[in-house]
Chain A
Amino acid sequence: MIFSVPVHAFDVLGDPVRRRILELLSDGERTAGTVTGVIRAEFGISQPAVSQHLRVLRESGFATVRADGTRRLYAVDSPPLQEVDLWLERFRGFWSQRLDALGTELARGKPERRRQRENTTTRQSGEQQNGSESEEDT
C-alpha cells in the first residue's frame, strides 16, 4: 500500500541521488529505465534503490510519471521546486543586500588602499609592485 506523505522539500533534495535524478529530468521526460541506468552507473546503487528514490520524488510531488505502453516516463513537476525557489528568494534578497553592502565597503576602501600602495611604490620603486597594481586596477 502506498500513501502519499508530505515530506519536507529539503529532505527530498538533501539526497544526492534525488538531486541527480531531478537534474536528468530537467531536460525533459526520461524513461524509468534510462534514469535507472544512469544512476546505477554513477552512484553504484542497486535497481531497487533507484526505484525507491523515484518513488520518493513521485510521492513528494517533485516528479510525475505516466505510462507509455510498457514504459514509465518520468518528468519534473514544478510546484514543489517553485516552493523551494520562493523560500530561497527571501535569502537571496538578504544576501544580495549584504553583497551590495560589501561592494560599497570595498569601493570605499579602494582610495585608501591606492594611497597605501602609492606610498609603498615610492618607497620600494619595485617592478613587481607595478605589475600587480595594473592587474588589480582593471
Chain B
Amino acid sequence: MIDIVNQINATHREIGNHPVTTGEGRSLLLRRVYDAPIEDVWNACTDPGRISRWLAPIDGDLRLGGTFQLKDNAGGRILRCEKPHLIKVTWAFGDGMPTEVEVRLAPGTDGGTTLELEHAAPAEIVDEMVRTYGPGGTIGIGGGWDLTLLGLDLFLDGATFDPATWEDTAEAKEFATRSCQAWGAAIQAAWGTSDDDIAAAIQFGVQHFAPDAEGDNN
C-alpha cells in the first residue's frame, strides 16, 4: 500500500532553466530523500540487473562515454559518471528532441540519501511547444519522473513489482493524478501560466496517467 499523500509531499518539484550542452535549457527538478545508504542508491541506479527491476530492462555499454537503451523507453549516452555522486546522460526517444538527465546523490543526516534529478531540454523547443500547445507536455514529463522516483523508493524498500505494468494500478494512478496537480502548481509559479491554461494542462496529464479517473476511456 502506497502512502500517496506522503509520497507526493516527499518530493520537491521545481521548474528551472538548467542549460543543455547545446545551449539554453528548460528543466524539471525533483528532489527527495531515500531511506537507504548512498552506495545502495547508487548501485540501484547503475547496476543493469537492478535497474531492470524498478525502471526498465537496460542494454548497452554502461560506462563513461558508452550508450544505453531502456526497453520501450529512452536511450542515450553517458556523459558523466562520478561514483557515488553524479550521473549525467543524454536522454532521447528515437528521433525525439535530445534532452539531458542529471542525477545527483548526497548522503543525508541519518543514513539516508538525498537524490536530485534534473531533466533539461533545449529552451527553444520547449518554449515553442508551450506557446503552441500549453504546458501539458511538461506536466506529462514531470508525472513520469514522479512515478519513476516512487518506483525507486518501493524498490529500495524491498518491494517486488513489474515496472512495465505497476503504473496501471489504482494507487499508482491516484499518485500520478496528484503529481500532475503538484507539477501544475510548480509550472504556474515559474511561468505565470493562467488558471485556465494550467487547468487544461493538468487535465491533459491526468487523462494520460489515469484515464479511468475521469470516466473518459476513448
Please tell me if the beta carbons of A45 and B94 are within 8 angstroms of each other in the complex: no
Please pick, from A20, A34, A56, the residue contacting B133 in the complex, using a CB distance under 8 A. A20
Please pick, from B125, B133, B141, the residue contacting A44 in the complex, using a CB distance under 8 A. B141
Main secondary structure of the interface of B (DSSP, over half): helix
List residues of chain A with CB under 8 Å of any chain B CB.
16, 19-20, 33-34, 36-47, 49, 56
Question: In the complex, A37 Cα to B96 Cα: how many Å?
Answer: 4
Task: Report the interface size for chain B: residues with CB under 8 A from the other chain.
Answer: 27
Question: In the complex, A16 Cα to B208 Cα: how many Å?
Answer: 12
Residue of B nearest to A35 (CB): B95
Please tell me if the beta carbons of A33 and B137 are within 8 angstroms of each other in the complex: no
Please tell me if the beta carbons of A16 and B95 are within 8 angstroms of each other in the complex: no
B132: which A residues are within 8 A, CB to CB?
20
Residue of B nearest to A33 (CB): B94
Please tell me if the beta carbons of A40 and B208 are within 8 angstroms of each other in the complex: no
A44: which B residues are within 8 A, CB to CB?
137-144, 208
Please tell me if the beta carbons of A37 and B137 are within 8 angstroms of each other in the complex: no
B80 to chain A, nearest CB (A): 21
B129 within 8 A of A: yes
Residue of A nearest to B143 (CB): A44
Question: In the complex, A105 Cα to B137 Cα: how many Å?
Answer: 42
B57 to chain A, nearest CB (A): 14
Please pick, from B93, B129, B134, the residue contacting A36 in the complex, using a CB distance under 8 A. B93
Residue of B nearest to A15 (CB): B204
Residue of A nearest to B97 (CB): A41
